Structure 1
Amino acid sequence: MKVVNITYKFEDGKPDETHLGAEGESVLDVALNNGVQLQHNCGGVCGCSTCHVYIESGMDDLPEITDKEEDFIDRAVNPRLNSRLACQCVVQGGQDLVITIPKQDFLGH
């Protein structure tokens, strides 16, 4: 099983945290399993945009974005070209990931 480092950066000023993610785990699962606060109103099934994150590094080692995910990202606050939903970013191994978690006080649907 392949393992990568996932570094979570926080726009609200919390210190960075790095945790191990195993192949097949989502960025959301790794966050929740390690006490990283990341909203996920739909339970991580690509039914909202509350787990919206920015992929700063490692985008090429994640699954391609689906039309459904892209639709929900369009509803997120302040989407960017590197926006993804953490529930849809499944670790495939290879390159480490650097994830920025936006402030979570005003989130999308």
Structure 2
Amino acid sequence: MKVVNITFKFQDGQPEQTHVAAQGESVLDVALNNDIQLQHNCGGVCGCSTCHVYVLRGESDLPEISDKEEDFIDRAVNPRINSRLGCQCVVQGSSEDLVILIPTQEFLGH
């Protein structure tokens, strides 16, 4: 199984973290498995925009953005051209590592 590194950077100033991701894992999965708080109010099924992240590097290792994901990104706070939903950023397993910026989050609910 192919693996890549995901470096998480944080807009709120937390120190960056790098973790290994296996092919088929999402950015959301890797974050949660490593105690990185990333909201996911819909449970990670592309039903909201709370796991919004910015892909700073490695977008070629991710699947193309779907129309559904694009619709939810339009609802996110401060969407940019490199915005994605963490639940939809599934590692394809190329050799390119990912760098993800997690924007400052306002925690909603549990």
Q: Report the TM range for the smaller structure's normalisation.
A: over 0.9
Indicate if the aligned counterparts of 1:40 and 1:50 stay in contact, CA closer than 8 A.
yes
Name segments (4+ residues, structure 1) moved above 2 Å: none
Counterpart of 1:47?
47
Matched, 1:20 2:16: no
Matched residue type, 2:101: T
Counterpart of 1:101?
102
Number of residue pairs matched by the alignment: 107
Identity %: 79
The Cα of 1:106 is off from its aligned counterpart by 7.2
Please give the alpha-carbon distance, in whole angstroms, between the structure 1 residues aligned to 2:55 and 2:101.
6
The Cα of 1:98 is off from its aligned counterpart by 0.1
What pairs up with 1:5-84 in 2 under 5 angstroms?
A: 5-84=5-84
Question: 5+ unaligned residues in a row in structure 2: which ranges?
Answer: none
The Cα of 1:92 is off from its aligned counterpart by 0.7
Please give the alpha-carbon distance, in whole angstroms, between the structure 1 residues aligned to 2:84 and 2:91.
13
TM-score, normalised with respect to structure 1: 0.96
TM-score, normalised with respect to structure 2: 0.95
